[in-house]
Amino acid sequence: MKNKNDSITLKDIAEALQLSIATVSKAVRDSHEISAATKKRVNEYAKKNRYRPNLMAQSLRNKNGRSIGVIIGAIPNNFFSQVLNGMESVTYQKNYHIIITQSLESVKREEKNLEHLTWRAVDGLLVSLSSETQSMDHFKKAHEMGIPIVFYDRVTDEIKTHQVVSDNIGGTYAGTKHLLDNGYRRIAHITSSPELFISRERLKGYELALQEQGIPVNPDYICYCNHGGKDLDEIESAIESLLQLKPRPDAILTASDRITIRTLAILKKKGIAIPRQLAIVGYSNFSAPEILSPELTTIKQPAYEMGRAAAELLIKLIEAKRPPVKFEKKVLPAELQVRESSLRRK
């Protein structure tokens, strides 16, 4: 039994008024989908019974707390920091502020961050899934409560909403083809969790380039880092397993910013001459790859543009007077930037 000083939940209101939780959630968020009479009934009951988020929702409706929740992998990641810059270039102009949370590739942190953001009654969510995320139930629940969501980079097709991604297939295809054009034939691929949409797409691009050259895909040359490279040991283990193969790879294509930079560092620590003994091409938005030795060939994602596009689509959802009938999937081009680490030395 609740103490008289405790705040009630959406579920409590729904049960008391014999409404669905989704209807109650939309009513306290002033959704156009709910009639004025139902909104009045719900909000009067909520106020009378100390429903805490309702106070923040009232503030949002008075335009004093326009906020967007953002879930990212990690702020120190070069890619995500550029994405945030893109988001803020839009949200600042539109008079929204963003609340940033990090999953650090943990689904438990992701769930806790989502719970916090929904409690804060944010207007909408910009989400890049953690490498551990398999079930979408926590996001489905938020979506059913009427919270607008836009997924970017690491996305899911299980929830009907806008998505913003880079051309993952085209990026790894270009990187793999570049290595093939430079005479490399035993090309390994180190990627993130196979559960992630981007991992599967990037694997497709790698496989497509090999198949076009009549080179069979060797499963021994494909390594997964289930925590997205957050754990240095998983990258070291992947590289060690590749170096033990006979014949061992003559090139590596890496599929994320963190995996790319750490792979380069590990190979140098092991005394592997790059690119003479092992070439490397990798996804990376590192701000100055030319200062590395050797200069790093990268597949660069349009991170800033991705952040801008995701924020623009979310604000359109938030400010729409009617529910959208069509959702957009924006695919932005990735850019191969060739440098020393992948060029065949004469």
* Residues 105-112, mean pLDDT to the nearest whole number: 93
166 or 288: which leads in pLDDT: 166
Binning pLDDT at 50, 70 and 90, where does residue 199 land?
very high
Per-residue confidence (pLDDT) for residue 273, from 0 to 100: 94
Question: Mean pLDDT score of the chain, rounded to an integer?
Answer: 89
Of 50 and 189, which is predicted with more confidence? 189
pLDDT at 64: 47
Q: Find tokens 């103490």 and name the residue.
A: 3
Domain 65-165+303-332, second-level architecture:
3-Layer(aba) Sandwich (3.40)
Q: Do the domains 65-165+303-332 and 168-301+335-342 sit in the same CATH topology, yes or no?
A: yes
Residue carrying the six token digits 């998505």: 163
Query: What is the model's pLDDT at position 128?
Result: 96
Q: What b/e string do you get for 295-308 counting C-beta neighbours within 10 Å, with b at 16 or more?
A: bbbbbbbbbbbbbb
Is the per-residue pLDDT at 254 higher than 50?
A: yes
* Residue 85 in this model has a pLDDT that exceeds 70: yes
* pLDDT, position 56: 46
Judge: domain 168-301+335-342, CATH 3.40.50.2300.
Answer: yes
Mean pLDDT of 253-257: 93
- Residue 42 reports pLDDT greater than 60: yes
Would the pLDDT of 125 be above 60?
A: yes
Going by the DSSP 8-state scheme, the letter that residue 153 receives in this structure is S
Report the distance separating Cα 5 and Cα 134, nearest Å.
38
Average pLDDT over residues 82-106: 94
Q: Outline where DSSP puts E strands in 170-314.
A: 187-191, 222-224, 251-254, 279-283, 297-300
Q: For residues 219 and 282, is the Cβ–Cβ distance under 8 A?
A: no
The predicted structure's pLDDT at residue 186: 97
State which of 73-87, 149-163, 218-232 shows the largest mean pLDDT: 149-163
The reported pLDDT for the residue numbered 10 is 85
Give the residue, 188 or 345, on which the prediction is more confident. 188
Asked whether residue 126 carries a pLDDT value surpassing 90, the answer given is yes
**218 has pLDDT over 60:** yes
**For residue 102, pLDDT beyond 90:** yes
Please state the φ and ψ torsions of residue 330, each to the nearest 5 degrees.
-90, 125
The pTM of this model reads 0.79
User: In the chain, where are the structural domains located?
Assistant: 10-60, 65-165+303-332, 168-301+335-342
